Amino acid sequence: MERKQLIAEVEGILHTYCEGCLLKAAFRKEKGKSYAHKFCITECTVGEQLKRCGERLLK
């Protein structure tokens, strides 16, 4: 996959799933920004998808 396509895929995922995410908002409010960020990266299935896209961008 081309770099531009991967970046567009990441933007699409972020726009579709992450903007307005209720879990992220609740965790930010209750436990703080860093906890919410860590949750998104390590436990959220969308975060895992984004991580895989990032790994493909690095190759």
Q: Where are the domains of the chain?
A: 3-58
Residue-wise pLDDT for 17-56, tens only, equals 999 999 999 999 999 999 999 999 999 999 999 999 999 9
What pLDDT score was predicted for residue 45? Answer: 95
Long-range pairs, 5-13, Cβ under 8 A, ≥24: 6/53, 6/56, 6/57, 7/57, 9/53, 10/50, 10/53, 10/54, 10/57, 13/46, 13/49, 13/50, 13/53
Q: pTM for the complete prediction?
A: 0.79
